[in-house]
Amino acid sequence: HQAPPAKDEL
Amino acid sequence: MNIFRFAGDMTHLISILVLLLKVYATKSCSGISLKTQELYGIVFLARYLDLFTDFISVYNTVMKLVFIGSSLAIVWCMRFHRVVKRSYDRDVDTFRHYFLVGGCFLLALFVHEKFSFREVFWAFSIYLEAVAILPQLILLQRSGNVDNLTGQYVLFLGAYRGFYILNWIYRYFTEDQFSRWISCVSGLVQTALYADFFYYYFISWKNNAKLKLPA
């Protein structure tokens, strides 16, 4: 299971 | 970064600056809900756990520090500042916000992107932010007339997530693997909660009258 994308939003 | 998200972040920053202006300039927090401020403090602390581990950009880190710092500063002022705390009316700010915290955390335990400490707390912060404004809106309905700065604070705070919805639509169409359904659904609920406030704010602006929310 690929890790969810990095949280780039505030 | 896209123009919608940048506009959203700036609108959010303006709402915080308006709130700080009101509290520091008038040395009063009348009309402001301490419970909403406490909920926002929890939102930012729960959401930015990656502050020191994941570096996205200087902008991202600086904004996170501003959001955490300002929300904690407002809570400190309303609780402990000698002059400001006198203007806090706890008899009107009676929303039982701990239920919101418990409910959102429970929801995050069941609905999240990945069952990990960071992801559960991130989902918790997204759900909690969606309902964090409720004590403030209830307080405004109870206290009848709303002073200008408080009205502008709530207006900008509501508008910022609206810009984020445009950002998610934009990213959905421009990025292939973009999927932020937790943020999108919560963001829609969050913005919808402001709908009646936006309506009464627009009416008061059109009639050039004082903003009054019906009880």
pLDDT at res. A4: 56
Q: Of A4, A7, A9, which has the smallest distance from its Cβ to B5's Cβ?
A: A9
Asked if B46 and B127 touch (Cβ cutoff 8 Å), the reply is no
CA–CA min distance B72, chain A (Å): 17
Most distant pair of Cα atoms in chain A: their distance: 25
DSSP state of A4: P
Domain ranges of chain B: 3-207
CA–CA min distance A2, chain B (Å): 10
Q: Do B119 and A1 touch (CB under 8 A)?
A: no
Residue burial B195-206, b: 16+ Cβ < 10 Å; e: rest: eebeebbeebee
Q: Is the pLDDT of residue B35 over 60?
A: yes
User: To the nearest whole percent, how much of chain B has pLDDT over 90?
Assistant: 93
Q: Do A1 and B9 touch (CB under 8 A)?
A: no
Integer angstrom CA distances of residue B74 from B21, B69, B104, B139: 11, 9, 23, 17
Q: pLDDT digits over B45-67, tens only? A: 999 999 999 899 999 999 999 99
pLDDT at res. A5: 62
The reply to whether A3 touches chain B by the CB within 8 Å rule is yes
* Contact residues for B30 (Cβ-Cβ < 8 A; gap 6+): B87, B88, B89, B143, B147
Q: pLDDT digits over A1-10, tens only? A: 455 567 899 9
pLDDT at res. A3: 55
Q: pLDDT digits over B99-119, tens only? A: 999 999 999 999 999 999 999
pLDDT at res. B198: 97
Chain B contacts of A9, Cβ < 8 Å?
5, 164, 167, 180, 183
pLDDT at res. B49: 95
Interface test with A, best of B170, B180, B184, B190 (most A CBs within 10 A): B180
Chain A contacts of B47, Cβ < 8 Å?
7
> CA nearest A2 in B: which residue?
B114
pLDDT at res. A2: 53
Measured CA to CA, the distance from residue B113 to residue B179 in angstroms comes to: 10
Residue B132: phi and psi, rounded to 5, are: -60, -25
CA–CA min distance B89, chain A (Å): 31
Q: pLDDT digits over B168-212, tens only? A: 999 999 998 888 999 999 999 999 999 999 999 999 999 999 999
Residue B173: in which H helix or E strand, if any? helix B148-174
Q: Do A1 and B50 touch (CB under 8 A)?
A: no
Asked if B35 and B194 touch (Cβ cutoff 8 Å), the reply is no
Q: pLDDT digits over B158-178, tens only? A: 999 999 999 999 999 999 888
The reply to whether A2 touches chain B by the CB within 8 Å rule is no
Tell me what the mean pLDDT of segment B123-128 comes to: 98
